[in-house]
Amino acid sequence: MAEFSAADLAVEDQYKLMSGAIIPRPIALTVTQGPDGPNVAPFSFFNCIGVSPPMFMIACSPKTGPKSGGSNGEVKDTVANLRDCPEMVVHIVDYELRNKMNACALDFDRDVNEAEIAGFNTAPSVMVTPPRITDCRVQLESKLIDILEMGTLPYYMILGEVVHFHMDDAIINDRLHIDPGALDALGRMAGNGGYTRITDKFEMPFLHPPGSVPPEEAVERAKEFAKTDRD
Ligand SMILES: Cc1cc2nc3c(=O)[nH]c(=O)nc-3n(C[C@H](O)[C@H](O)[C@H](O)COP(=O)(O)O)c2cc1C
């Protein structure tokens, strides 16, 4: 095994190991409201936190980014906007919208509406000020819970609460199950140009529900299945 103490690694190398190993990452295409209009940016340091209420996190580097090894303290437009208007709409990006999403990642001035540059269609949201991108199959109208500053750069960990869901009829059934094939969500990997699609699916039995001690029979099944993996 190649071994590294995190404290000995340059910031750029920490970034290579984290973004290369923790894959694939979902992409939050995030609309915030600035003083001069909406702002759109994609973020892949993004995931679900939990429910009751539905909560998620997005981590935003400083404006100069982790690859430059340091920060001049300037924040990205998304963080600046959230400090002024603590609401956002997070969208899941699918393969057919990949180039539009990528156009929104350019480092535009705060007054530029990336939705217009990318050619995204927008509509007013139901419960928040920033508009939503109607091209996306999942649109999550959300309120800011908090922004936590973490690490020395620092990173800005945006914690959000979904208050209203827009889900395309084509991806969801009556029981609220989402069809991953119909969603066709894009996954982010590392480096310039590293992305993936969910084209290789498989199933595994759910051995026992969490929250109670598994019976002996479930433990035996777990052991038998585990033996079939690589040693
Ligand atoms: C697929 C993708 C994922 C990205 N993920 C992140 C991320 O997780 N955190 C981050 O700070 N920047 C990320 N970026 C870069 C931002 O999108 C970029 O800095 C953008 O200009 C920020 O916009 P803003 O200043 O309008 O907030 C990502 C870019 C792309 C294309």
Lowest mean per-residue pLDDT among 31-45, 55-69, 147-161: 55-69
AA letter at 29: L
What pLDDT does residue 12 have? 93
User: Which atom from ligand 1 is nearest to the alpha carbon of 195?
Assistant: 1
Give the chain's domains with CATH numbers.
6-201 (2.30.110.10)
Separation of alpha carbons 184 and 186, rounded Å: 7
68 pLDDT more than 70:
no
Give the Å distance between the CA of 192 and the centre of ligand 1: 13
Mutate-to-test residue for ligand 1 from 27, 31, 43, highest number of ligand atoms within 8 A of CB: 43
Q: Tell me the C-alpha distance between 28 and 180, whole Å.
A: 16
Torsion of CA 72, 14, 61, 198, to 10 degrees: 160
Residue closest by Cα to atom 17 of ligand 1: 105
Q: Which atom of ligand 1 is nearest to the CA of 42?
A: 17
CA distance 130 to 88: 6
Confidence of residue 195 (pLDDT cuts 50, 70, 90): very high
Q: For residue 14, what are the CA distances in angstroms to 20, 22, 63, 105, 192?
A: 10, 12, 18, 22, 16
How much distance in Å is there from the Cα of 196 to the middle of ligand 1?
Answer: 17
For residues 211-228, give the mean pLDDT: 96
pLDDT at 84 over 80: yes
- For residue 70, pLDDT beyond 70: no
- Secondary structure of the chain: what % helix, strand, coil (to 5)? 25, 30, 45
CA–centroid distance, 51 to ligand 1, in Å, is 25
Q: What's the DSSP call for residue 158?
A: E
Average pLDDT over residues 82-108: 98
* Cβ-proximal residues to 19 (8 Å cutoff; 6+ apart), any chain: 25, 189, 190, 191
Say how many Å lie between the CA of residue 68 and the centre of ligand 1: 14
Q: How confident is the model at residue 67 (pLDDT cuts 50, 70, 90)?
A: low
Cα of 227 vs centre of ligand 1, distance in Å, is 41
